[in-house]
Amino acid sequence: MPSNCIKTSKYNIVTFLPVNLFEQFQEVANTYFLFLLILQLIPQISSLSWFTTIVPLVLVLTITAVKDATDDYVSAPRAPLSWGCSPCVGHGDVGLGGGLRAWGGRTGLCGGGDAGAVVVVFRHKSDNQVNNRQSQVLISGVLRQEQWMNVRVGDIIKLENNQFVAADLLLLSSSEPHGLCYIETAELDGETNMKVRQAIPVTSELGDTSKLALFDGEVICEPPNNKLDKFGGTLYWKENKYPLSNQNMLLRGCVLRNTEWCFGLVIFAGPDTKLMQNSGRTKFKRTSIDRLMNTLVLWIFGFLVCMGVILAIGNAIWEHEVGVCFQIYLPWDEGVHSAFFSGFLSFWSYIIILNTVVPISLYVSSLLSALGAGEGVLGHVGVGAGQPRGRARDTESSLGPWEPGCPRGWGPGVGMRVPIAGSAEGAALPGDTWLCPPRSVEVIRLGHSYFINWDKKMYCAKRRTPAEARTTTLNEELGQVEYIFSDKTGTLTQNIMVFSKCSVNGHSYGDVQDMLGHKAELGERPEPVDFSFNPLADPRFQFWDPSLLEAVKLGDPHVHEFFRLLSLCHTVMSEEKSEGELFYKAQSPDEGALVTAARNFGFVFRSRTPKTITVHELGRAITYQLLAILDFNNIRKRMSVIVRSPEGKIRLYCKGADTILLERLHPANQDLTNVTTDHLNEYAGEGLRTLVLAYKDLEESYYEDWSERLHRASGAPEAREDRLARLYDEVEHDMMLLGATAIEDKLQQGVPETIAILTLANIKIWVLTGDKQETAVNIGYSCKMLTDDMTEVFVVTGHTVLEVREELRKAREKMMDASRSMGNGFSYQEKLSSTKLTSVLEAIAGEYALVINGHSLAHALEADMEVEFLETACACKAVICCRVTPLQKAQVVELVKKYKKAVTLAIGDGANDVSMIKRAQPSLGGAVTVPCAPGRTASPHVSLSTAAHIGVGISGQEGIQAVLASDYSFSQFKFLQRLLLVHGRWSYLRMCKFLCYFFYKNFAFTMVHFWFGFFCGFSAQTVYDQYFITLYNIVYTSLPVLAMGVFDQDPCCPRLVSCGRKGCSGLGWAGLSSSLLLAVAKAGSAPGCLGLEGGAQIAACPQDVPEQRSMEYPKLYEPGQLNLLFNKREFFICIAQGIYTSVLMFFIPYGVFADATRDDGAQLADYQSFAVTVATSLVIVVSVQIGLDTGFWTAINHFFIWGSLAAYFAILFAMHSDGLFQMFPNQFRFVGNAQNTLAQPTVWLTIALTTVVCVMPVVAFRFLKLDLKPELSDTVRYTQLVRKKQKTQHRCMRRVGRVGSRRSGYAFSHQEGFGELIMSGKNMRLSSLALSGFAARPSASWIETLRKKKSGEGSTACSPSGAPDKTLKV
C-alpha cells in the first residue's frame, strides 16, 4: 500500500536542477531558443555571437527556476476561508479497490489546528510538521500516540472536538446520542453550515476502547474516486451485512465540531482520499485570440522559412556568379566546396538572424516584468497525512496501489496562481507548477485580473465581497461575449424567500386588505397581522391577510392540517438557545420560509430526534412518531414524511411541484384541483414560487408491508436508488389535496437595468431555470427580458417530437412572414452581411422571445432537431428554458458553442449551475462493485470539460459551489454589465492593440536584415550591432508596449482641450490617434442614437470614450463580438505596416549615405555609422508609433517610453565608450563611433526624415478615415463635444405594463439526502441561525432607450407603451 507520508514539494537539492530543466525544456519557447543556440554555436552558420540567444534563454531559465524553487520551498499567503477555497474539481489516476478488514486497530489524534490564516508556509518544513503530527491510535486495546504518517488503512483512530479529519473514515461511534457527530466541510465544498453524520446503529454502541478492540468487521467498498457526495459500501460483521453511505463517512479535510469525541475506521488515506482524488488537472479554457495566434505563428514561421529560402537561393546564385571571382579575397569557409552548400548554410544563418519575426519573443519581452508579476497568488489544498498501507493484521484484503497520474493542484489561470484550496493544515498539493514561463501576454492578463479584483464599483459592502478574477486567461474574451446563459433563482433574484400567499381548501389567502376588508389598491399597505398571541412567533415574519389567522383561531380543520403539514414535512433543524428563542437551520430558503410561516400561525416546529418530531400546535406540545422520510431530489421534485400521531393514525404528508403532485391526487379531488389551479395561475401573475400540499392516510397493515420492503431495498447492494424510487412512487398516489403555498423571491437590485443594457450591446440572454414556465415568464417580464413591445413571445410546450417540431416550425414561419410584411425600410441583406450569421432568421425585423418547457427541450435537444431549435432560438431576442435539469443546462450551452461562432458566458449561484459553468463528464457509466476478493475493478475515469467559454459564479444564498467552478465571481448580477462592458471591452482593446503593435515592431526590426541581404552578397551579415539585437526586445521596446497593454483605456473627454484630468493629454500623442476627428467634423453633423435605436451599425474601433460611456453606449461593445480589432485582416495590415517601415528604415539611410560626407569632407558611409543610424531611427519610429497608439497616458506610460529612449542612448554611448573598450577590447572595438555618427547633422536629418516618412502616412490615413468613414467611437466622442454646446437631452423613463396570468414555479430547491440523514438519527445541533431580513423590492425604473439626436432639436419625451400582451402559445 502507498505510504501515508505527505510530500507537497517537487524538488530536493539533488533533483532540482535536472528535473526543473527537464520541465522547462518541455516548453516550446525554451526548446526553440535552445535550437537557435545550437545553430549559433556552429561557426559556419552563425553570424551572431552565441550570447544574443543564450542571454535571453538563461534569463528565462534562471527566473523560472528561482520562481519554481521559491514556490516549492515557500508557499504564498494562504487564501482565507472567506474566499471559498476548495480543491478544483478534477481527476487523478485512482487506486484499485478491494476490501479491508479491521481487527481492533489503532486510532489517531488529528493534530487539531486553528483555521486561522498562515501567512507563509515553508513547504518542506510544513511536510515534516504534518507528517509528524501525533495521533491517538488504538493498538491492542490501548490508545497510543502515533505519527500521522504511520496511520494505516484499517486503523481505528480517535478524533476530538475541533480537530481535522486526517483520512476518510467510517464513523463507528461518538459522544453524541445515536452515534451522531457534526462536521464542517468548508475545506471540501465551501459550505460553512454544519452537517451531521451518524454511525450505523450496530457500531454506535462501541463507545469505549475495550469494545472497539474486539471489533473485527470487514468493509467492502467502492474504489477511490473524487465524488464528494457519494459513497457505497457494505460492512460485514457478526454474520450480518450493513449498507454504508456517505452519511456514515467523515472525509479528510473536514473539521469535527460540537462533538466531544468520535471513533472512526480508516477507509481511504493519503492519495486515495476524496480530497486528494479531487486534486487533478482541469481543462484550461483558451480564448479566440489564443487560437488565432496559434494559426498566425504557423504562418509567420512559414514566412520565415520562405525568406530563408529566398536569401539562400540568392546566396547560391551570388556565390556561383560573383563570389567565385573573389575567392582570393573572400575564400569560402572550411568545409564549403560549392555554391549550393554555401546557400544551404546561408539558409540556417538567416533563420537565426530573422528568428525575431516569430512571436516566440513574447516570452522574452516580459522578463523585466516577470520578477514582479510572476509571483501570482498561490493557494494550497488542504491535505493531511494519511495514506493507506497494509499491515500484517490488515492484509486479508487490501486496497491496490495508488498510481500517480495527475495529483497536482492546478489553478484556473495560466501564468498566475489562483487559490484552489484553503487548508488549516498548512500544506499544499504536490507538483504545483506554472504552465509556461511568464510572457508579455500573461503579464498583461495578470494586470487586467488585478483591475477586476480592485474595482470598488464591483464590491458588495453588504456582504463584504469583492469581485474576483479566478483566471487570467479569459479577460479579453469578456469583451467578445454574444450569449449569456443565466440561472434565475439566486442569480436574477435574491433567493430570499417570503411566504406571501396560500390556497387552503379552495380559499385563497394573502391579498392585502384595507380597513374595510376590501382588497387594497396598489401602493396601499395596512398594518401587518398581529402575531402577539404566539410567544414563539418570529418577529421578523410579516403577513398582510388577517383572515388566515382568523381561520386558525376558529379551528378550521383544513387550515390546521395545512400548517400541520408545513410543520412536519421538512428537513429543517431547530435549536433553542434559551426558552422560546428558536433558530431554524434550513437547507433551502424555501423550506425556511414555509416552516417559519407555520411557526407564526401557531404550529411551531420545536425539536426532533431521529424518530420523533415535536410540534407546539396552538400552545399544546404534540410529539409525532417519524416513521419515514421520502427524500427530495431533482427527479422526484417532491418530498414526503410518514408520521404516526399520538392517536395512532398513520398519515403521509407530501409537498412538491404541481406538475408532479396534481397527477398523483385521488380522483375525488377534481373540483378542488380546478379551484387550486386557478389560484396557482393567479399567484403566477405575480411571479410567485409555488408548492402543492397533499396528504394520505395509510392502513397499519399496508404500512408494515411497505416498510419491510423499504428496509430490504435500503440494504440492496445494487440498484438501491431505483428500488427506493419505485417504493416512494407506490405510496405517493391517491393523495388528498390540501392546498398550495406561494413564496415571493424578489429580484436583485439593478437586474432590469443590467439586462436592458446588455441587450442593447447585442448580447442575447437565455435564462435556464428549474422553475415552472409561468414563474420564469413572469420573472422575465419583471427583469425586462420580455416586454410588451416585442412582436411575439413564442411558448413551446409540446410533449412529443412531432409537436415540438411543429411548434418550432410555426414560430419560424411567423417570424419570416412578419419580417416580409413590415416593409419599413429595413435593409435585410445589409444586416445579413454585416454579421457572422448562420441563418437568415437572425436578420429578421422585429423582436421575438422563445419560452420552452423542460420536456419540450428534451426533444428539441435531440440530434435531428437541435439545429431547428437553435435557429429558432437564435432569432429571438430572449430565450427562457423552464424546468431544465443541470445536465440540460450544459447541453443548451454546448449546443450554442457547437454551431455558433460566438463566445458564451454562463452565470449562476448554486451547485445545479456548475454543469453549465464547468462540467464533469464521466467516460464510464454505472456503479463500480468492489468484490471481497483481492481482484481489482477500475473506477470510473472522470475528466473535466468546460461548458461555457466563461463561467461566472454568484456568491449568494446557496453556498459557493458555483463560485468554486467559475472563472469570475462577484455577489450581484448587476456587476456583470461592468465586467463585460468596461473590463471586458478594455481588456479586449488592450490585448488587440498590444498584439498589433508587437507584430508591427518586430517586422519593422527584422525585415531590415532581409533587405540588407540583397546588398551584402546574401552573406547573412546583420545590419544592427549584435548587442542591439539582444536588447531590442528586452529593454528598448518591451516596457512601453507592456504599459499600453496594461494601462491603456478610454480617455476622459474629447481632447481638443485637455480637461486636466490625469491621463487626459489634450493634443498629445494619443490626440493624434483618433480625436482629430473633432477638428474636421462638420458642425452640423447629427450623430445617431448610438448603440440604442436607429444609430450607427458599424463599430470598429471603440476607443477614446470615457468609462461611463461604455455602459451609456452599449454598441461600443460590438467590435469585440465581431472580432474586428484583431483578426487575420488586421494582422496583415500590421505586417504590411511593419514591412513598409523596414523598407524606409533601410533605403532612406542607404540612399543618403551613398553620397553624404562628414563636416570635414570625409565620406560618411561606413558599416557602423549606418548601423547606428538605422537602429536609432528604428527606436525613435517605434516609440512614436506606440505614442500614436496609446489612448490613455499615465505617468507609467511616459516613464517607460521616454525611459526606453533614454536607456537606448545611454547604452549606445556606453558600448562605444573608451572604458568598455579597455575592459573588453575584443568585444567593443568601435570606440567613439556612436558619438561621431550622432554628431553629424546629416545623420539627424536622415533620422528625422525617416521618422516623418514612416509616421505621416499613418497619421494621414487616420485623418482621412475619421473624416470620411468615422467609426462609432468617433461619433460618440463627437457627441460629447456637441453636448457641451447643446442642452442636455432628457432620458425617458417608462414602465411597461402587461396583462394576463401565468403559472408559477415550484418553490423547492434543497438537496437530496437530508431525509435519510434525519431518519437515521441525524438531528442537527446547530449554532444560532438568524434568518435574513427581507429587502425591499428594488426600483423598476431603467433606461430603456436614448432617442435619436438631431441638430437643432430640443429634448424629446418618450411615451410609455401600452401595447397588450403579445404572448403567443404555439
Give me the active site residues, please. 487
Q: How far apart are CA 132 and CA 150, in angstroms?
A: 9
Do 1018 and 346 contact (CB within 8 A), yes or no?
A: yes
Q: How far apart are CA 123 and CA 1014, in angstroms?
A: 58
Q: How far apart are CA 727 and CA 718, in angstroms?
A: 15
Q: How far apart are CA 1214 and CA 1202, in angstroms?
A: 18
Nearest to 440 by CA among 527, 365, 525, 539: 365
Nearest to 973 by CA among 1240, 810, 749: 749
Three cell numbers written together for 723: 428500488
The cell 494586470 sits on which residue?
447
- 51: which residues sit within 8 A by CB, 6+ positions away? 1026, 1030
Enumerate the H helices of 41-168 as residue ranges. 51-73, 123-131
Q: How far apart are CA 1208 and CA 226, in angstroms?
A: 56
Q: Longest Cα pair distance anywhere in the chain, in angstroms?
A: 124
Residue 152 burial by CB count (10 A; 0-12/13-18/19+): exposed, middle or buried?
A: buried
User: Residue 283 gets which letter from DSSP?
Assistant: P
- β-partners of residue 183 are 195, 256
Q: Hey, which bits of 1031-1070 come out as E strands?
A: none
- 3-class SS of residue 674: helix
Degrees (nearest 5) of the Cα angle 341, 342, 343?
90
Do 610 and 197 contact (CB within 8 A), yes or no?
A: no
Residue 959 Cα distances to 84, 168, 257, 377, 854, angstroms: 9, 23, 19, 23, 25
- 946: which residues sit within 8 A by CB, 6+ positions away? 283, 285, 918, 919
Degrees (nearest 5) of the Cα angle 371, 374, 377?
130
- 3-class SS of residue 449: helix
Residue 1108 burial by CB count (10 A; 0-12/13-18/19+): exposed, middle or buried?
A: exposed
Q: How far apart are CA 174 and CA 207, in angstroms?
A: 7
Do 572 and 535 contact (CB within 8 A), yes or no?
A: no
- 481: which residues sit within 8 A by CB, 6+ positions away? 763, 903, 904, 905, 949, 950, 980, 984, 1120, 1121
Q: How far apart are CA 83 and CA 97, in angstroms?
A: 34
Q: How far apart are CA 160 and CA 256, in angstroms?
A: 7
Do 445 and 472 contact (CB within 8 A), yes or no?
A: yes
Do 271 and 3 contact (CB within 8 A), yes or no?
A: no
Residue 232 Cα distances to 220, 268, 718, 927, angstroms: 9, 13, 10, 9
Q: How far apart are CA 1284 and CA 1282, in angstroms?
A: 5
Three cell numbers written together for 1032: 531590442
Three-class HEC string of 997-1029: HHHHHHHHHHHHHHHHHCCCCCCCCCCCCHHHH
CA 846 to chain centre: 33
